[in-house]
Homo-oligomer: A and B are copies of this chain.
Amino acid sequence: MGRKPTKLKIIPLGGLNEIGKNMTAIEYKDEIVVIDSGLSFPEDEMLGIDIVIPDISYLIKNKEKIKGFVITHGHEDHIGALPYVLKKINVPVYGTRLTLGLVELKLKEHKIANVHLQRVNHGESIKLGIFSIEFIRSCHSIPDACAIAIHTPMGIVFHTGDFKIDYTPIDDQFIDLHKIAELGQKGVLVMLADSTNAERRGSTMSEKNVGATFENIFRNTDKRIIVATFSSNVHRVQQIMEAAQKYNRKVVVSGRSMVNVVGVAVDLGILTIPDNLIIDIDEMDQYNDGQIVIITTGSQGEPMAALSRMASSDHKKLEIRQGDLVVFSSSPIPGNEKGISRVINQLFEKGADVIYESLAEVHVSGHACQEELKLMHRLVKPKFFIPVHGEYRHLRKHANLAEDLGMNREDIFIVNNGTIVEFTKDNAKVGGTVPAGRVLVDGLGVGDVGNIVLRDRKHLAEDGLMVVVVTISKETGKIAAGPDIISRGFVYVRESEVLMVEAKEVVKNALLICESQNAREWSTLKSSIRDGLKDFLYEKTKRRPMILPVIMEV
Binding site for B on A (CB under 8 A): 17, 43-44, 47-48, 199, 334-335, 337-338, 341, 344-346, 348-349, 354, 358-359, 391-393, 396, 442-445, 448-450, 452-454, 456-465, 467, 469, 471, 480-482, 484, 486, 488-492, 495-496, 540-543, 546, 548, 550, 552-554
Contact = CB atoms under 8 A, between A and B. Distances in A.
Nearest to A358: B199
A338 B44 contact: yes
A184 to B, nearest CB: 29
A443 B193 CA distance: 48
B393 A344 contact: yes
16 contacts: A47-B462, A48-B543, A199-B358, A199-B359, A337-B337, A345-B392, A442-B543, A445-B541, A453-B464, A456-B489, A457-B464, A459-B489, A465-B465, A484-B552, A552-B552, A554-B554
Contact of A460 (B17, B337, B457, B554): B457
A452 B492 contact: yes
Contact of A465 (B444, B460, B490, B550): B460
B491 A453 contact: yes
Contacts of A460: 457, 460-461, 464-465, 488-489
A462 B121 CA distance: 43
A338 B41 CA distance: 13
Contacts of A540: 444
Given A335-B337, A471-B481, A348 B393 contact: yes
B554 A469 contact: no
Interface of A is mostly: mixed
B444 A542 contact: yes
A334 B301 CA distance: 14
A552 B453 CA distance: 28
Given A334-B341, A346-B392, 20 more contacts: A47-B462, A199-B358, A199-B359, A344-B393, A345-B391, A345-B393, A443-B542, A444-B542, A450-B492, A453-B491, A459-B489, A460-B461, A460-B465, A460-B489, A461-B461, A469-B469, A469-B552, A471-B481, A486-B550, A554-B554
A341 B456 CA distance: 25
A456 B462 CA distance: 11
Contacts of A457: 460-462, 464, 489
A492 B460 CA distance: 16
A552 B496 contact: no
Contacts of A495: 448
A495 B449 CA distance: 10
A553 to B, nearest CB: 6
A498 to B, nearest CB: 12
Nearest to A443: B542
A444 B541 contact: yes
